[in-house]
């Protein structure tokens, strides 16, 4: 077209005028559409006015309001059925993938396992560069929930990533070369970083994780994006009271911790996931994690009293100074691992007839909160998932109304909903201003909370203070494995819930086959996208919940999707890779035949016709353990040690829910000296299996092996039952499961 215009015929004057006009027009066109001089040229104005560039996705939740909503509508309810795979990238892992990619000016930036960073052409999938921060694999022992990372931040030609071992690194957006790196934690303690940074006015904001381990004191820090210089730090729990003189907020918090010397355990309360920002109020919002240890009688003394500020809270600070503005504690005196690190969403709602700036959260504790984000004032809180930990919330303050008794008193504990997995966890929640609905990945899962005695409690890896060996099954002991499976299947549920924050109820609900499903994306095309644990990527009508499209995947999904455009084509991207806390959740989401745990970055477009490689199905077969010769006392001791120390990676009750080794399937040659060499000798430390010599004796190791042989034998017997008899038993057990669950809850 350009050549034809420049070679138009006519008089010389007309030709000259035509040439000048065309050249000028072409220059304007090229200036408007040419690639920027350097990649990732993102600044405050671009982020604040992100809606002016709907084809970009410049932050993990697209905007500072964290809505995970896109104004794009080229893919819509009328044509979404035509979506197909455009391209994919092999992420070279069988572990969990949790990141939401970022796309700026045609380049996609994302992260994989072990905090690795990737830059790809967003239209073709061509790898532009990758960066490996080389996290020591032995650091995996300090992680509660897999070697995952939730994404990057982009600012002024740089990419920022937090690493599992506590570093914050700035990379050159063009090459992936490190520009600067700063250690943000005390690396002698079990801190970690799995969350994505945020950049606000030239400040990189990062938190940390580790509240399942003793010695961790939570905080959030702002660093200068240019050189990594620390600007401010806000601690979420007070340290030694003698050190809090310069912080009125921490002085107030000290009064809510009642046991002398409690700070030696760290306190917990880390900022390990979500943050939001209001440019008009200059307020940064973040959620804080659980108190440590979970058992409040260990951290607070015999009375258990104390709110333990600012754990399990939503906190607002001034983004320039880090000074405290307000807080709202969702779970005072947390005893259930009910973090408040879930998605924080900013919106404007009609409250009492007036448009009100609010902050919303579907909390782990199963309540959906709406607060005035200017002051933190409570507006509403309503259960969106099954809960029996409280009678409800005070209508004025939002404070939970205590339930009679206590989960950590008595020998048997109490079966409670939700479990530590939460009614909603870190998986992204989308909010559509078009429909006024929030789209929540919901799960109903029970958990048997029971006290670990203070004499048994050891502030090591990990330090829950909860009898995890009893929590391994929230069911009566000694049941047939098939009956246990049927009872548990009836007790748990995974859902996608479209929540109306004004009417305080679900507008629609979709039931899923499994729990621990992926985050959500809402679009102006009238769609909601979600990947599932059972290996489906789905699109729903945002108003009705009607399924409009489904793409079968070889693996499960926990990450949230995103969407963007390149050259006018709309794409939808998703990280596929099941894992994270799913390792702990092994008993509730058993591997199904044909699953391939390999992880991919998947990108779809209308008419896409790419094909993934043929899956490599996971098939563990039937365990073949040696004969059990240990005493019942040894097996019991092994159960206690395994579920307290090993289940965090290898699965509760020795059932792995991820690609990590399922220890029921250990080869016979691994028992004895081979097991000792791994667990005590650390011969596999470079593969992520650190030595436990500092917390385990040879007797502990012998006991754990006895327990694993017992579990392998039980599994072998269960799997070798005649098929017809197993099916009949399952049908009978499922029929009685609701009654059995009711009786079990009554007994506890």
Per the model's pLDDT, the better-predicted residue between 242 and 307 turns out to be 307
pLDDT value at position 572? 98
Q: How far apart are alpha carbons 424 and 426 in whole angstroms?
A: 7
**Domain residues for 16?**
2-34
Residues 146, 237: one domain? yes
Contact 197, 206 (CB under 8 A): yes
- Rounded to an integer, the average pLDDT of 485-509 is 85
Q: Spell out the SS3 assignment of 540-566.
A: EECCCCCEEEEEECCCCCCCCCEEEEE
Structural domain includes residue 44: no
Contact 506, 499 (CB under 8 A): yes
Q: How far apart are alpha carbons 470 and 447 in whole angstroms?
A: 10
Beta bridge partner(s), residue 393: 400
- Rounded to an integer, the average pLDDT of 244-267 is 89
Contact 78, 61 (CB under 8 A): no
Give me the long-range contacts of 23-32 (CB less than 8 A, separation at least 24). Answer: 26/2
Residues 156, 54: one domain? yes
Residues 559, 690: one domain? no
Structural domain includes residue 219: yes
pLDDT value at position 685? 82
Is residue 666 classed as helix, strand or coil in its secondary structure? coil
Per the model's pLDDT, the better-predicted residue between 413 and 388 turns out to be 388
**Nearest in space to 389 (alpha carbons), one of 410, 360, 362, 419:** 419
Q: Which of 283-297, 413-427, 675-689, 715-729 has the lowest mean pLDDT?
A: 715-729
pLDDT value at position 741? 53
- Rounded to an integer, the average pLDDT of 100-123 is 98
Strand 520-523 versus strand 69-70 pairing type: parallel
> Which bin fits 606, alpha (ψ -120 to 50), beta or left (φ > 0)?
beta
CA distances from 92 to 203, 274, 601, 654 (A): 32, 26, 10, 26
Structural domain includes residue 266: yes
Structure tokens at 34: 């040419």
CATH of the domain at 686: 1.10.760.10
pLDDT value at position 267? 92
Using the predicted structure, report yes or no on whether residue 280 has a pLDDT greater than 90. Answer: yes
Q: pLDDT averaged over the chain?
A: 86
- The reported pTM is 0.89
Residues 83, 177: one domain? yes
CATH of the domain at 114: 2.140.10.10
- Rounded to an integer, the average pLDDT of 332-346 is 96
Residues 55, 26: one domain? no
Structural domain includes residue 478: no
HSE toward the beta carbon, residue 21, CA cutoff 13 A: 9
Using the predicted structure, report yes or no on whether residue 181 has a pLDDT greater than 90. Answer: yes
Which position among 337, 596, 662, 700 bears the catalytic label?
337
pLDDT value at position 295? 87
Structural domain includes residue 622: no
- Rounded to an integer, the average pLDDT of 372-383 is 98
Residues 141, 289: one domain? yes
Per the model's pLDDT, the better-predicted residue between 658 and 713 turns out to be 713
Structural domain includes residue 469: no
Structure tokens at 105: 């000016």
pLDDT value at position 635? 92
pLDDT value at position 30? 36
Q: How far apart are alpha carbons 225 and 133 in whole angstroms?
A: 18
Residues 677, 602: one domain? no
- Rounded to an integer, the average pLDDT of 194-200 is 98
Residues 380, 423: one domain? yes
Structure tokens at 11: 């008089």
- pLDDT tens by residue, 693-711: 888 889 989 999 999 999 9
Using the predicted structure, report yes or no on whether residue 731 has a pLDDT greater than 90. Answer: no
- What percentage of the chain carries pLDDT values higher than 90? 61
Structural domain includes residue 227: yes
Task: For residue 425, report the phi and psi dihedrals to the nearest 5 degrees.
Answer: -115, -150
Q: Which of 44-48, 93-97, 463-467, 724-728 has the lowest mean pLDDT?
A: 724-728
Q: How far apart are alpha carbons 74 and 568 in whole angstroms?
A: 9
Q: How far apart are alpha carbons 386 and 365 in whole angstroms?
A: 9
- Rounded to an integer, the average pLDDT of 502-521 is 95
pLDDT value at position 131? 98
Highest mean pLDDT, choosing among 325-334, 455-464, 488-497 = 325-334
- What percentage of the chain carries pLDDT values higher than 70? 84
Using the predicted structure, report yes or no on whether residue 191 has a pLDDT greater than 90. Answer: yes
**Annotation marks residue 337 as catalytic:** yes
Contact 195, 130 (CB under 8 A): no
Residues 590, 523: one domain? yes
Residues 378, 231: one domain? yes
Using the predicted structure, report yes or no on whether residue 472 has a pLDDT greater than 80. Answer: no
Q: How many domains does the chain have?
A: 3
Using the predicted structure, report yes or no on whether residue 4 has a pLDDT greater than 70. Answer: no
Is residue 484 classed as helix, strand or coil in its secondary structure? helix
Structural domain includes residue 617: no
Residues 591, 730: one domain? no
Residues 23, 70: one domain? no
């Amino acid at each position: 077209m350009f050549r034809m215009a420049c070679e138009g015929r006519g008089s010389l004057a007309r030709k000259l005028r035509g040439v000048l006009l065309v050249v000028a027009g072409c220059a304007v066109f090229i200036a408007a559409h040419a690639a920027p001089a350097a990649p990732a040229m993102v600044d405050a104005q671009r982020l604040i006015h992100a809606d002016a560039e709907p084809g970009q996705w410049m932050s993990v939740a697209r905007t500072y309001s964290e809505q995970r909503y896109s104004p794009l509508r080229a893919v819509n309810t009328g044509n979404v059925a035509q979506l197909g795979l455009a391209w994919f990238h092999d992420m070279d892992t069988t572990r969990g993938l949790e990141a939401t990619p970022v796309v700026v000016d045609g380049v996609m930036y994302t992260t994989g396992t072990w905090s690795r960073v990737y830059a790809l052409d967003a239209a073709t999938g061509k790898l532009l560069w990758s960066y490996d921060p080389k996290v020591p694999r032995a650091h995996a022992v300090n992680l509660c929930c897999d070697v995952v990372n939730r994404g990057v931040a982009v600012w002024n030609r740089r990419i920022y990533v937090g690493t599992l071992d506590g570093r914050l690194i700035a990379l050159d957006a063009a090459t992936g070369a490190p520009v600067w790196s700063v250690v943000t934690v005390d690396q002698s303690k079990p801190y970690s970083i799995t969350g994505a940074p945020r950049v606000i006015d030239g400040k990189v904001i990062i938190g940390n994780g580790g509240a399942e381990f003793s010695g961790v004191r939570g905080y959030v820090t702002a660093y200068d994006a240019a050189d990594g210089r620390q600007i401010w730090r806000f601690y979420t729990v007070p340290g030694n009271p003698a050190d809090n003189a310069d912080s009125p907020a921490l002085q107030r918090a000290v009064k809510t911790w009642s046991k002398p010397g409690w700070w030696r355990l760290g306190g917990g309360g880390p900022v390990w996931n979500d943050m939001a920002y209001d440019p008009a109020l200059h307020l940064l919002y973040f959620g804080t994690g659980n108190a440590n240890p979970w058992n409040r009688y260990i951290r607070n003394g015999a009375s258990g009293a104390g709110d333990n500020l600012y754990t399990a809270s939503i906190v607002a600070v001034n983004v320039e100074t880090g000074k405290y503005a307000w807080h709202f504690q969702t779970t005072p005196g947390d005893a259930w691992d009910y973090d408040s690190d879930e998605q924080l969403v900013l919106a404007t709602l009609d409250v009492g007839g007036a448009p009100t700036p609010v902050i919303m959260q579907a909390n782990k504790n199963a309540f959906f909160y709406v607060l005035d984000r200017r002051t933190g004032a409570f507006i509403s809180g309503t259960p969106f998932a099954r809960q029996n930990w409280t009678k409800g919330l005070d209508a004025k303050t939002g404070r939970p109304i205590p339930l009679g008794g206590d989960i950590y008193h008595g020998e048997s504990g109490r079966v409670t909903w939700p479990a530590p997995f939460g009614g909603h966890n870190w998986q992204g929640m989308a909010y559509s201003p078009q429909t006024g609905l929030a789209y929540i990945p919901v799960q109903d899962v029970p958990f048997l909370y029971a006290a670990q005695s203070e004499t048994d409690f050891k502030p090591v890896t990990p330090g829950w203070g909860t009898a995890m060996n009893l929590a391994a099954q929230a069911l009566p002991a000694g049941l047939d494995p098939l009956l246990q499976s049927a009872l548990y299947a009836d007790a748990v549920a995974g859902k996608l819930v479209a929540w109306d924050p004004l009417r305080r109820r679900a507008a629609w609900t979709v039931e899923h086959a499994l729990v621990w499903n992926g985050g959500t994306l809402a679009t102006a095309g009238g769609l909601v996208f979600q990947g599932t644990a059972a290996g489906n990527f789905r699109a729903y009508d945002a108003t009705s919940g009607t399924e409009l499209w489904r793409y079968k995947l070889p693996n499960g999904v926990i990450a949230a999707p995103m969407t963007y455009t390149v050259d006018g084509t709309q794409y939808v991207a998703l990280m596929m890779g099941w894992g994270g806390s799913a390792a702990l959740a092994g008993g509730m989401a058993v591997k199904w035949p044909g699953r391939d745990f390999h992880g991919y970055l998947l990108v779809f477009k209308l008419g896409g016709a790419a094909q993934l490689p043929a899956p490599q199905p996971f098939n563990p077969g039937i365990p073949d353990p040696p004969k059990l010769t240990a005493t019942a006392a040894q097996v019991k001791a092994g159960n206690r040690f395994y579920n307290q120390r090993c289940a965090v990676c290898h699965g509760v009750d020795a059932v792995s829910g991820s690609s990590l080794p399922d220890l029921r399937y250990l080869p016979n040659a691994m028992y004895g000296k081979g097991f000792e060499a791994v667990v005590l000798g650390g011969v596999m430390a470079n593969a992520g299996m650190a030595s436990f010599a500092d917390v385990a004796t040879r007797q502990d190791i012998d006991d754990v092996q006895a327990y694993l042989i017992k579990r392998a034998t039980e599994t072998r017997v269960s799997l070798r039952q005649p098929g017809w008899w197993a099916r009949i038993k399952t049908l009978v057990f499922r029929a009685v499961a609701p009654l059995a669950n009711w009786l079990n809850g009554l007994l506890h």
